[in-house]
Structure 1
Amino acid sequence: MAKAAVLVASFLFVALTMFCEEATADYEGCCVSYSKYQLPFIRIKGYSIQTPNDYCDIPAVVFHTIKGRHICANPKDTWVEIRIQQLMNKVKKMA
């Protein structure tokens, strides 16, 4: 019975990680795809900009989350522009 419970738990863990996948920075912080989901502002600590080069072939905004993850977003998406503006406003209030 215990072996079956471990097997079921393992299967559920793998299934959940597949469905909760976000586009994260790959090799040495290089984005190769964009997140399919909008990142809530409350989870964002900061961001950086990726420009295309020999290793990273897409432009991206890399959001840094409070949990230490790096989420790749399309800089042309409206929600990305809004999050950047929200972060800039937050910095202005702190100054």
Structure 2
Amino acid sequence: SMTNRQVCLVALCSLLILCTFIGSTQSARCCLNYIHKDKPISCKRVKDYSVQTINNSCDIDAIIFHMQGGKSRFLCADPASNFTLRVMQCIE
């Protein structure tokens, strides 16, 4: 039979695994819709971008622009749009 110490250790490990799993699912931010093309993005404000592909947690493909300053730190853009490609080119 297991001792009290072993029971505590198993419980602690289970809790740790659970917390890690919950944390990782919440940090997966998904774009749910795109910004409007008539809202211009200043190339100077874009620090970087990342690519979102459709997977278990995200419903659409998107380019996520990482912005500096201002209210929104992340902007979601349509990868098929010429406007998106222009902004990506000014980063590279």
Pairwise TM-score range, normalised by the shorter structure: 0.5 to 0.7
Q: Find the counterpart in structure 2 of residue 30 from structure 1.
A: 30
Within the alignment, does 1:42 sit opposite 2:33 as a pair? Answer: no
Distance 1:54 1:33 in 2: 16
After superposition, the C-alpha distances for 1:3-54 in whole angstroms (9 at most, x for unaligned) are xxxxxxxxxxxxxxxxxxxxxxxx7320000011231111101000000011
| Structure 1 Cα separation of the partners of residues 85 and 40 of structure 2 | 11
Q: Distance in 2 between matches of 1:28 and 1:70?
A: 13
Cα distance in structure 2, aligned partners of 1:51 and 1:85: 20
Unaligned runs of 5+ in 2: 1-26
Cα distance, 1:86 vs structure 2: 1.2
The question of 1:86 aligning with 2:90 is answered yes
Structure 1 unmatched runs, 5+: 1-26, 89-95
TM-score normalised to the size of structure 1?
0.60
Aligned length: 62
Query: Identity percentage over the alignment?
Result: 34
Provide the rounded CA distance (Å) in 1 between the counterparts of 2:40 and 2:47.
15
CA distance in 2, matches of 1:50, 1:38: 21
The CA deviation at 1:59 is 0.3
Instruction: Using the TM superposition, give the Cα deviation of residue 60 of structure 1 relative to its aligned residue in structure 2, in angstroms.
Output: 0.3
Which of the pair has more CA radius of gyration? 2
Change (3 A) 1:38 1:76: farther
Structure 1's consecutive aligned runs of 4 or more residues displaced over 4 angstroms after TM superposition are none
1:64 Cα deviation from its structure 2 partner: 0.2
